[in-house]
């Protein structure tokens, strides 16, 4: 122009010629090829097109998307001529070389891409006076890459948010109506599954999805009102249509975090659910619940399904991977059905939540125990007893105390069952021991009059454990206690206290039924006996000899008896046929060697 050459003008002219079909990529002159400069991009697009098809929607993720500044749009695998793809690649590469006029090149690129997808010549697309009607006809005729086509139309003609939302609203209503009538598996629109891919469509509106949400919701609300006020009976298919529209409206409000819109949706859902109950349409109720997926706000649906024996239907239709549904169901069962073990098992089996359910039972058991201990401390304070200075918390023998302990024990029993089903054997053993501990606590009330007191054996410290098993508990109770707390007691100290000081030889008998009386335990008891000889009575001495006689090792028995001055035991060993054995062992090697 005016005898001056401008590379940007030359590039735009070449883009237009390529788009119009006046020139093909392989017909470029040497001068035109120099304009490309980025031949690698052109070659790579042609050779790797198929490998990039799965990313066809990725370019819509940014609100600032522009085809002139992003990678070329990618196409579904259809039998178009490769020259068309090459033309798009060349125009794309040329547009990246522009310093001025990039918007014009972008429009040429998108318009050619539209003509390519809808299979209408470029000049017809450019000259068509009714762009909205052209787009609707192309979508209706099942063109290729529909979402891509819509996106390009929006940018080419610079549609505002209302125009875009009007188009999408109309398309959604038409496609959902078709879905309900044809009873397809999933609602489809522009070859996208609305259940999983609706967010791609919403990206066309960027951060203004609520505009579409209100339009869709208004249509659903008007439709529902018309059905309610009409004299004709509402059909299930009509309710199903309204539900699908409301689900999409909720998706729009959720995308914008529009709490006002979401609240309106939830209110309308409750009204619709009540109508669905009259139809006994559990399928639609579950569809609405799981699609809105606001389980805390809609937990009334759980109660409706439970009351109508349709809880299992929710599990069959709900996704096993829906973690929000898992949590909501467990929370609902914990609050409203704590004793319904069948429902717990049903939910656990469906979601493989055995461990989670078991932990819920454990948590409830601990809560009951904590509250009971707190109440008992308050009672002690009311009776002028300081629980912080007393060796143990005191439980009062009342129906309330027994009920709480029984409740906690049942909860631990349930936890054990679920841990076993979840193959968590270590946890199952732990909860089983806690249940046994609570059973021991209950047994301490046996034989006590009403309002009498006994020690609390829950939530103990180590010093409290050793004092209890050394003085107040039987051996069986002691064994359960130490196993529940995973405590390793000094059995020599316990046996000395129980058998020598308290003359409780039944404790020894029960001890021997479960554990061996070793040489080290016996020697330790004997050392305690000798060091405390001045406070031990005659019965205690007799008990010490009984313990020593229970020791299986003859030479250890002889040594300990000799050291302790129990001559009668030594004489018994000699006179009862053990003399030869002692000659070959103790007497031959001496005490230190044996």
- Could you tell me the end-to-end alpha-carbon distance of the chain, in angstroms, rounded to an integer? 119
Give me the mean pLDDT over the 320-330 stretch. 83
- Residue 32: DSSP 8-state: H
Please say if the pLDDT value at position 40 is more than 50. no
pLDDT-wise least confident of 43-52, 191-200, 218-227, 478-487: 43-52
Residue 387: pLDDT above 80? yes
Question: Nearest to residue 113, comparing CAs of 90, 132, 133?
Answer: 90
Residue 455, strand partner residues: 394
| Longest Cα–Cα distance in the chain | 139
What would the 3-class secondary structure string for 182-198 be?
A: HCCCCCEECCEEHHHHH
Domain boundaries, the chain: 1-159, 353-488
Angle (CA) 482-488-491 rounded to 5° is 90
Parallel/antiparallel/unpaired status of strands 453-455 and 188-189: unpaired
Average pLDDT over residues 14-28: 74
Based on its alpha-carbon atoms, the radius of gyration of the chain, rounded to whole angstroms, reads: 42
Res 342 pLDDT > 70: yes
Average pLDDT over residues 306-324: 80
Average pLDDT, the chain: 83
User: Do residues 207 and 256 touch, judged by C-beta distance below 8 A?
Assistant: yes
Q: What is the pTM of this model?
A: 0.64
Lowest mean per-residue pLDDT among 1-15, 47-61, 70-84, 234-248: 47-61
Q: How confident is the model at residue 38 (pLDDT cuts 50, 70, 90)?
A: very low
pLDDT at 73: 40
**Mean pLDDT, range 47-52, rounded to an integer:** 36
Q: Are 287 and 317 in contact (CB under 8 A)?
A: yes
Q: Say which residue, 536 or 231, is predicted with more confidence.
A: 536
Average pLDDT rounded to a whole number, residues 280-287: 92
| pLDDT exceeds 50 at position 75 | no
Q: How far apart are CA 471 and CA 449, in angstroms?
A: 22
Report the Cα 287 to chain-centroid distance in Å: 21
The residue ranges of DSSP E strands in 347-475, in sequence order, are: 394-396, 453-455
Strands 192-193 and 188-189 turn out to be antiparallel
Q: What are phi and psi of 394, to 5 degrees?
A: -105, 130
Q: Quick one: pLDDT at residue 282?
A: 92
- Return the pLDDT at 57: 42
Query: Which sign does the torsion angle of CA 66, 68, 74, 79 carry?
Result: positive
pLDDT in tens, 511-524: 999 999 999 999 99
Please compute the mean of the pLDDT values over residues 384-394 and round it to a whole number. 91
Per-residue pLDDT at 37: 60
- Residue 576: per-residue pLDDT: 67
Distances (CA, A) of 257 to 32, 168, 208, 254: 51, 20, 11, 5
Q: Are 56 and 75 in contact (CB under 8 A)?
A: yes
pLDDT single digits (tens) 186-214: 999 998 999 999 999 999 988 889 999 99
Confidence tier at 44 by pLDDT (50, 70, 90): very low
Report the pLDDT value the prediction gives residue 129, as an integer from 0 to 100: 86
Please report which residue ranges of 422-504 form alpha helices under DSSP H: 425-443, 462-471, 475-484, 491-495
Residue 330 and residue 55: Cα distance in Å, rounded? 38
| In contact, 71 and 41? CB cutoff 8 Å | no
Question: What SS3 class is residue 395?
Answer: strand
| The predicted structure's pLDDT at residue 52 | 33
The 10s digit of each residue's pLDDT in 536-591 is 899 999 999 999 989 887 778 878 888 888 888 877 777 765 555 555 555 445 44
Who has greater pLDDT, 438 or 35?
438
- Closest by Cα among 207, 217, 137, 112 to 169: 217
Residue 448 backbone dihedrals phi, psi, to 5 degrees: -85, 145
Please give the Cα distance from 257 to 33 (Å, whole number).
50
Q: How far is CA 241 from the centre of its chain?
A: 32
Mean per-residue pLDDT, 77-83: 51
Rounded Cα–Cα distance for residues 118 and 517 (Å): 93
Task: Output the pLDDT for position 108.
Answer: 83
């Amino acid at each position: 122009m005016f005898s001056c050459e401008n590379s940007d003008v030359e590039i735009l002219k070449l883009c237009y010629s390529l788009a119009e079909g006046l020139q093909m990529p392989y017909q470029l002159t040497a001068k035109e090829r120099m304009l490309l400069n980025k031949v690698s991009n052109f070659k790579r697009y042609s050779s790797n097109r198929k490998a990039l098809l799965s990313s066809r929607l990725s370019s819509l993720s940014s609100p600032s998307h522009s085809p002139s500044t992003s990678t070329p749009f990618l196409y579904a695998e259809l039998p178009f001529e490769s020259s068309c793809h090459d033309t798009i690649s060349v125009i794309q590469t040329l547009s990246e070389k522009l310093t001025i006029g990039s918007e014009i090149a972008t429009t040429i690129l998108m318009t050619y891409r539209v003509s390519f997808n809808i299979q209408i010549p470029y000049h017809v697309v450019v000259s068509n006076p009714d762009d909205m009607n052209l787009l609707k006809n192309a979508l209706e005729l099942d063109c290729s890459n529909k979402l891509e086509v819509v996106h390009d139309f929006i940018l080419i003609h610079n549609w505002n948010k209302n125009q875009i939302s009007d188009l999408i609203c109309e398309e959604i209503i038409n496609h959902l109506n078709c879905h309900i009538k044809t009873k397809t598996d999933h609602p489809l629109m522009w070859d996208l599954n609305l259940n999983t891919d609706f967010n791609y469509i919403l990206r066309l509106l960027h951060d203004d999805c609520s505009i579409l949400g209100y339009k869709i919701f208004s249509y659903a609300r008007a439709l529902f009102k018309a059905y309610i006020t009409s004299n004709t009976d509402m059909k299930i298919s009509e309710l199903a249509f309204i539900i699908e529209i409301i689900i999409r409206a909720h998706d729009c409000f959720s995308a914008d975090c529009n709490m006002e819109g979401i609240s309106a949706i939830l209110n309308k859902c409750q009204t619709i659910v009540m109508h669905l109950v009259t139809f006994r349409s559990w399928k639609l109720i579950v569809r609405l619940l799981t699609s809105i997926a606001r389980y805390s706000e809609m937990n009334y649906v759980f109660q409706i399904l439970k009351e109508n024996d349709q809880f299992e239907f929710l599990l069959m239709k709900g996704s096993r991977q829906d973690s929000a549904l898992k949590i909501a169901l467990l929370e609902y069962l914990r609050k409203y059905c704590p004793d319904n073990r069948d429902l717990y098992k049903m939910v656990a089996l469906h979601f493989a939540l055995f461990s989670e359910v078991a932990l819920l039972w454990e948590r409830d058991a601990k809560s009951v125990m904590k509250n009971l201990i707190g109440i008992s401390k308050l009672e002690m304070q009311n009776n002028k007893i300081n629980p912080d200075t007393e060796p143990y918390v005191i439980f009062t023998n009342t129906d309330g105390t027994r009920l709480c302990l029984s409740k906690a024990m049942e909860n631990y029993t349930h936890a054990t069952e679920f841990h076993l089903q979840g193959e968590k054997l270590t946890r199952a053993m732990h909860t089983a021991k806690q249940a046994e501990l609570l059973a021991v606590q209950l047994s301490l009330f046996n034989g006590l009059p009403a309002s009498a007191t006994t020690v609390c054996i829950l939530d103990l410290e180590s010093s409290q454990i050793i004092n209890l098993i050394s003085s107040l508990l039987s051996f069986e109770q002691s064994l359960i206690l130490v196993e529940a707390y995973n405590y390793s007691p000094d059995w020599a100290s316990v046996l000395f206290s129980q058998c020598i000081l308290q003359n409780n030889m039944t404790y020894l008998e029960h001890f021997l039924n479960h554990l061996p009386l070793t040489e080290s335990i016996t020697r330790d008891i004997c050392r305690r006996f000798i060091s405390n000889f001045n406070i031990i009575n005659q019965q205690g001495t007799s008990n010490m000899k009984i313990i020593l006689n229970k020791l299986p090792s003859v030479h250890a028995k002889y040594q300990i008896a000799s050291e302790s001055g129990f001559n009668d035991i030594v004489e018994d060993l000699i006179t009862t046929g053990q003399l030869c054995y002692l000659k070959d062992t103790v007497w031959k090697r001496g005490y230190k060697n044996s």
